[in-house]
Amino acid sequence: MSFQNLLIDYTGRIQHIIINRESKLNALNKATLAELHTALYDAFHNDRVGGIIITGAGEKAFVAGADIAEFAAFDSIRGGELARVGQDKVFNLISNGNKPVIAAINGFALGGGLELALACHIRIAADTAKMGLPEVSLGLIPGYGGTQRLTGLVGKGKALEIILTADMITANEAFQIGLVNHVVSQDNLLPKAEEIMNRILLRAPLAVASAIAAVNASSQAGVNGFETEIAEFAKCFDTDDFKEGVTAFLEKRKPVFKGV
Ligand code: COA
């Protein structure tokens, strides 16, 4: 599969998705979002892929936001459509994915770029990265889930400060408020993301998918997360991987999971 705005690479069972519009600081235009949907859908359905790492091309930007030039002339109808389609096809697709997705934030993650990182399950930042939701400085608010996911991660007070001031924060500030899981040097960014992903890939894939679904349920309106946890927990008992996991433990050996 070849793309105009993405590079796809593999390290073992990890699929790397690199947003590749460096001259526009990897801003998410319509074509890039469509390609991201295709690449993610394919990765979630490809048995050879265990997890996905998303990053930006170059060292300056992860993603500097949605492409401002593209929506400059939009009205409320087209604006609403932009947010709904984007959330549905890319941001919620990642968040609800059945495989782990890690954002390796290599530079500016602004607006839709930070929202992309927020939709991922784990975030690692280079110490040079800067993050923010500058939409109110454009007369907008975040539309790809940022108001909801940032609040869930850092709490209402910090989320409101970041969104209302439109100011950028450093990687270390993001770490202090729980917005990113780790801060490393630019050189160590992908190795660190791969190290974490490889640890996840040792675990039972269906249990990993169930854990993602159960944790996500904690912030879904109208969903009782405790009930979701019971249902996902119960499902695990019918998997071969559960039998393999407990048998390997009792036999004092490492499990070999097959994802069934
Ligand atoms: N949408 C479209 N184009 C963007 C973009 C975006 N979100 N962010 C950067 N670009 C483009 C610039 O227009 C410029 O293109 P050009 O060379 O054809 O003029 C190119 O990327 C480089 O950006 P530039 O602004 O010249 O780099 P800089 O180092 O001076 O500043 C930023 C970097 C990130 C501070 C600045 O680009 C910026 O503020 N971007 C917008 C961030 C934003 O508001 N995002 C939220 C969108 S909802």
Q: What is the tens place of the pLDDT at every residue in 165-206?
A: 999 999 999 999 999 999 999 999 999 999 999 999 999 999
Q: What is the pLDDT of residue 90?
A: 98
Look up 135 and say whether it is catalytic.
yes
Q: Which residue's alpha carbon is nearest to atom 28 within ligand 1?
A: 25
Q: Which of 19, 25, 144 should be mutated for ligand 1, with most atoms under 8 A from CB?
A: 25
pLDDT tier at 2, thresholds 50, 70, 90? confident
Q: Which residue's alpha carbon is nearest to atom 15 within ligand 1?
A: 24
Mean pLDDT of the chain: 97
pLDDT surpassing 80 at residue 1: no
Q: Residue 171 is encoded by which pair of tokens?
A: 């990687």
Look up 195 and say whether it is catalytic.
no
Q: Which residue's alpha carbon is nearest to atom 18 within ligand 1?
A: 24
Q: Which of 24, 29, 63 should be mutated for ligand 1, with most atoms under 8 A from CB?
A: 24
Cα(247) to centroid(ligand 1), Å:
54
Q: What is the pLDDT of residue 13?
A: 97
Per residue in 87-146, pLDDT (tens digit) is: 999 999 999 999 999 999 999 999 999 999 999 999 999 999 999 999 999 999 999 999
Q: Give the whole-angstrom CA distance, residue 205 versus residue 226.
A: 21
Question: Among residues of the chain, what percentage have pLDDT more than 90?
Answer: 98
Cα(63) to centroid(ligand 1), Å:
10
**Which residues does residue 226 pair with via DSSP β-bridges, in sequence order?**
none
Under 8 Å between Cβ of 32 and 22:
no
Q: What is the pLDDT of residue 32?
A: 98
pLDDT tier at 220, thresholds 50, 70, 90? confident
Q: Which residue's alpha carbon is nearest to atom 7 within ligand 1?
A: 65
Cα(234) to centroid(ligand 1), Å:
48
Q: Which residue's alpha carbon is nearest to atom 40 within ligand 1?
A: 64
Structurally, at CATH architecture level, domain 6-200 sits in: Alpha-Beta Complex (3.90)
Per residue in 15-45, pLDDT (tens digit) is: 999 999 999 999 999 999 999 999 999 999 9
Q: Give the active site residue among 35, 135, 194, 232.
A: 135
Write out the chain in H/E/C secondary structure: CCCCCEEEEEECCEEEEEECCHHHCCCECHHHHHHHHHHHHHHHHCCCCCEEEEEECCCCEEECCECHHHHCCCCHHHHHHHHHHHHHHHHHHHHCCCCCEEEEECCEEECHHHHHHHHCCEEEEECCCEEECHHHHHCCCCCCCHHHHHHHHHCHHHHHHHHHHCCCEEHHHHHHCCCCCEEECHHHHHHHHHHHHHHHHCCCHHHHHHHHHHHHHCCCCCCCHHHHHHHHHHHHCCCHHHHHHHHHHHCCCCCCCCCC
pLDDT tier at 221, thresholds 50, 70, 90? confident
Cα(132) to centroid(ligand 1), Å:
13
